[in-house]
Structure 1
């Protein structure tokens, strides 16, 4: 269902923003970031506005270039981008042991691509938590067209303060979404609170690896490019994420960079020299065509003023991710599986 045509790209660009607001919103967004003089503390204290502006501005681009699932995955030889993304979603479902009748939470669900695929694969009921009105409206269209309105739904809310009762869900997952949180402990603690005792939380995190050197100017620039291009207040290390899971109360069952498992790296789609029909928009020719389309649509006033600003910072994201992945200082596939401890014998929910 994801929109792929140029006119669809133009009509959706800006999300819930009016066409007149796009240019100023794009400028306000980039001004939050280090490469434009912004500061980390400002991004963290305004994380919700940062993420909302980002997804209003970029969701149409993501659908045009990426489809309905806004995340990355390693690939096997001969596997298409879409196949790798679906396989990764199935992997998450299997790690959680999902089965029919379970009530599952998707933390930061985007427009619902993973939610739909995992619901079909596991026969579970899934609630997608999202704080962006435009993505929720797109997601509602998506689950309706998929025939899953009876099993799937969306909930508007901030994952740092979820509008959900304690001990409500049988499982939870997050696919490269909690990186938008101002701190890992806050969002992991909220997931812990809403999970039933004894149940599991599986997530992919965007992380700096042990090879990142904060004293290396090039490393710092790559980090800043990824933050600018992907709406991030900061990027945490793998060690910080593991510790935050433990501090939130989870038993860490598994913590692993999945990037090492595959011959084709997660950042391959960002490599403009890699020729693939399944990710044509990411090739040099694809970049040229998309840039020309956006430039033309903005010139003709079909797309709003500021569209090229959005395209340009997304290109910065692509370049930063490619450099970070190649140099081994960043991974988009740091997998953590945590378990909320079961209740002790004789303990009731009311005693928690």
Structure 2
């Protein structure tokens, strides 16, 4: 989750790239490279933010039925921590794509430090206009990334082409539950996104792109409903973060998180949706 750089309208592609560039240093430290949201079992769950974020990555991996040696595409790969986690824990080969040059540089540094340079690669590019060979990937991961693309239909068509028949795609996104379409659009624009869809709208859009639903999980209460835990993570690490980025930056992070989670889990959910490209 990132904050929008331009209030009152949805940023263009270059502005989105700049938004991620500017947030990468803080995210690299605060989330340890897991830029997406996190999963807690309940208020009594005392798992640190980073551990809870890794849980969500595992939920995506498990929904994809990953097997050793699979070729995985990570669209909007962030700072690379999920790709490294997938490679380490599941033995897959991952190619990550991101429009942020700064984040890709950080991701490549993480891969080198992990000794996975031959197994995980990252490239700067617009995942809304992919040029991979047809059928190159067994699985696609899209964690909180598809809401930023301009032309969702074209993007999904590109992902469909890049997947082998029978391959799986798993996306995670905040979803509108108690929000009307117009209000959801305004909320999405507030963090730089172009859309916020319901689970039903996502499924319809994916079907129109040729995919078949395989599984969908609404885990909003355990993700979006845990806003206080994100704020607690900031408060717990305030001294450390302020020492590196300054009090103003930490205050800004906390306010962004507070505003983002303000609607509550009864109005905004969080879904893991997995679909299949037909074929063997």
Length-normalised TM-score, structure 1: 0.70
Contact 2:220 2:265 in 1 (8 A): no
Alignment-derived partner of residue 91 in structure 1:
59
Secondary structure in 1 aligned to 2:160? helix
1:167-186 aligned within 5 A: 167-186=135-154
1:236 aligned to 2:203?
no
Secondary structure in 2 aligned to 1:134? helix
1:40-59 aligned within 5 A: 40=10, 43=11, 46=12, 48-59=13-24
Tell me the CA shift for residue 165 of structure 1: 1.6
Tell me the CA shift for residue 330 of structure 1: 1.8
Tell me the CA shift for residue 140 of structure 1: 0.8
Alignment-derived partner of residue 212 in structure 1:
179
Task: Pick one of 220, 229, 232 that aligns with 1:259.
Answer: 220
Tell me the CA shift for residue 201 of structure 1: 0.5
Contact 1:179 1:206 in 2 (8 A): no
Contact 2:220 2:268 in 1 (8 A): no
Query: Structure 1 residues 225, 311: closer, same or farther in 2, change over 3 A?
Result: farther
RMSD of equivalent CA atoms: 2.8
Alignment-derived partner of residue 330 in structure 1:
268
Secondary structure in 1 aligned to 2:60? helix
Secondary structure in 1 aligned to 2:84? helix
1:9-158 aligned within 5 A: 30=5, 32-34=6-8, 39-40=9-10, 43=11, 46=12, 48-76=13-41, 77-158=45-126
Gaps of 5+ in 1: 1-25, 297-307, 344-352
Tell me the CA shift for residue 178 of structure 1: 1.6
Tell me the CA shift for residue 89 of structure 1: 1.5
Taking the aligned partners of 2:240 and 2:189, their CA distance within structure 1 comes to 25
The structure whose Rg is larger is 1
Tell me the CA shift for residue 234 of structure 1: 3.3
Query: Structure 1 residues 248, 138: closer, same or farther in 2, change over 3 A?
Result: same
Alignment-derived partner of residue 8 in structure 1:
none
Taking the aligned partners of 2:223 and 2:186, their CA distance within structure 1 comes to 27
Contact 2:163 2:277 in 1 (8 A): yes
Tell me the CA shift for residue 286 of structure 1: 4.9
Gaps of 5+ in 2: none
Secondary structure in 1 aligned to 2:39? coil
> How far does the alpha carbon of each residue in 1:206-255 deviate from its partner, in whole angstroms, 9 at most, with x for none?
2222x11357xxxx4x8646533x33233333332221111111001122
Secondary structure in 1 aligned to 2:140? strand
Query: Structure 1 residues 121, 240: closer, same or farther in 2, change over 3 A?
Result: same
Taking the aligned partners of 2:187 and 2:259, their CA distance within structure 1 comes to 5
Secondary structure in 1 aligned to 2:22? helix
